Structure formats: C-alpha cells, structure tokens
Amino acid sequence: MNKLLISVCVPILEQEYDMHIPINKKVGTVRRVIVDAISEMSGGYLVNKENLKLYDRKSGVCYDNDTMVKDSDIHNGTKMLLL
C-alpha cells in the first residue's frame, strides 16, 4: 500500500478534491503536487501557489514540509485544508 486517499478542501475556490498521495515522499513534495494538480483542475484559478500550506482540517495544525507522509498522522480519509 504505497498511496493514501485524502480529501483537500480549498476554501478560496470553494471546492474539495479527493486525491491519492504517495506515502514515501515528504509532505512538501506532496504539497507541490497537490497544488499543481488543483491549479490545473481549477483552470488556473489557484493563485499564490508558493505560499499555500497544508493543514489538518480537524486540528488546524500545519503539516511540516520536511516530514515524510508515512511518518506523519496522515492516513486514508484524512481531510486537509489548503490555505
């Protein structure tokens, strides 16, 4: 099982996206992939892409970009915010 299914809410777009992320990558790498995918899916409406961060939707805690996904509390069904 190398991937997790997560849900990413993007308040600025008023949209939510389900996506699979690899567990063997750093959160920062996964964040860039998520931001690029959402930017493409939204037709380029996602702005300030470099400043966006991933947060746990339940606790509000910002995910550390240097942590490996498998070493974080991210699991199947995790709900995130992209702000």
Distance CA 80, CA 72 (A): 13
Total number of residues shown for the chain: 83
Domain that holds residue 15: 3-82
> How many independent structural domains does the chain possess?
1
Residue 50: band (very low, low, confident or very high) from pLDDT cuts 50, 70, 90: confident
Residue-by-residue DSSP string for 22-82? ESSSBHHHHHHHHHHHHHHHTTS----GGG--EEETTT-PBPPTTSBGGGSS--TT-EEEE
Per-residue pLDDT, 22 = 96
Residue 14: band (very low, low, confident or very high) from pLDDT cuts 50, 70, 90: very high
Q: Residue 65 is part of a domain; what is its CATH number?
A: 3.10.20.90
pTM: 0.91
Distance CA 35, CA 82 (A): 8
